Amino acid sequence: MDLSALDFTGRHLFVAGGSSGINFGIAQAFARAGARVTVISRSPDKVAAAARQLQALGTQALGLAADVRHPDSLERAFAAASARFGPIDVLVSGAAGNFLASALDMSPNAFKTVVDIDLLGSFNVARLAHAHLRKPGACVIQISAGQAFTPTPFQAHVCAAKAGVDMLTQVLALEWGPLGVRINSIVPGPIAGTEGLKRLAPTEETLDAMTQRVPLRRLGRIEDISRMAMLLASDWGSWITGAIIPVDGGLALTGPRDFSAAAAASRRDR
Ligand code: COA
Ligand code: NAP
């Protein structure tokens, strides 16, 4: 099989929320495939450490502190990244925040905080990236979540925000398709060893229950997600746009989840 489609030598990957977890795993996978990588997130220490680890893989990498809620900081980051590595070939937008809380236990600011990071942040990233995307040819990948289409108690903020993210994906696919820019959402299932999963399954019992719920009876691995990202960004994905793609061992088929035990455990921790 000809795997040259998965060679990203010299291409520019920009990852919003790229200093840890799934998004950093995507950055590492593309770095190993030759891409030059920019990662941004709020913490200057985390982005600097991420850039060092990516450079250790033998590629050029830039770590920039920016908050997706603050358009000015994002604009500076996009300008610095494209000045260094040229137009962005692949944009991954995955900055997010989460905690378990019932709607009644959530202050307006708690709800707004997650919507601001996940939804408004994704809009800011896409909108401000646009001037720096390679046209035609760029591929945008939004990192969504199953809460976008599965009503989930204790997740009102994330459900609302990620549903908006997926709708944004579809609208931008229509608006940007004629420019030769593709945009898709990847919907990860529960991914082992990540902050996101730690927040939704904080104990052995809740983690085990989550695993048993997945039709394929295992948690996801970060490479399950980075491989889908590489496929979408490669020539093999060149006719895919506006798609919402679960990579979740079949979890999306199983209906609403019950996070009451996990919510009780995380209330005890707080
Ligand atoms: N239950 C209820 N409300 C909560 C909460 C919880 N567990 N955690 C935070 N909040 C509320 C805060 O009380 C605050 O509301 P208030 O001003 O009315 O008191 C609001 O949320 C904002 O909290 P703050 O800590 O100021 O926000 P932040 O912008 O510093 O951080 C978070 C954002 C809360 C999402 C934080 O958890 C974060 O930075 N997460 C990033 C990592 C992550 O979540 N990874 C998983 C991705 S899926
Ligand atoms: P993570 O490690 O906490 O990743 C979140 C990243 O976003 C961090 O790098 C964080 O760095 C950054 N970030 C947070 N707020 C930001 C802001 N305001 N501006 C810029 N960057 C910000 O979590 P993860 O579990 O790997 O999740 C990654 C993505 O996958 C998220 O979009 C999440 O919704 C999605 N997802 C995860 C799972 C899972 O099982 N983990 C399942 C479904 C979907 P800073 O703290 O430095 O800002």
Q: What is the pLDDT of residues 228-253, one digit of tens each?
A: 999 999 999 999 999 999 999 999 99
Query: Is pLDDT above 90 for 257?
Result: no
pLDDT of residue 131: 98
Rounded distance from Cα 195 to ligand 1 centre (Å): 13
Pocket-testing residue among 23, 113, 159, ligand 2, by greatest number of atoms within 8 A of Cβ: 23
Instruction: For 123-151, give the secondary structure using H, E and C.
Output: HHHHHHHHHHECCCCCEEEEECCHHHCCC
Domains and CATH numbers, the chain: 8-269 (3.40.50.720)
Rounded distance from Cα 198 to ligand 2 centre (Å): 12
Which ligand lies nearest to the CA atom of residue 48 in the structure? Answer: 2
Rounded-to-integer distance, Cα 167 and Cα 171, Å: 6
pLDDT of residue 258: 85
pLDDT of residue 265: 87
Structure tokens at 187: 């919907």
pLDDT of residue 267: 79
DSSP state of 107: -
Rounded distance from Cα 99 to ligand 1 centre (Å): 7
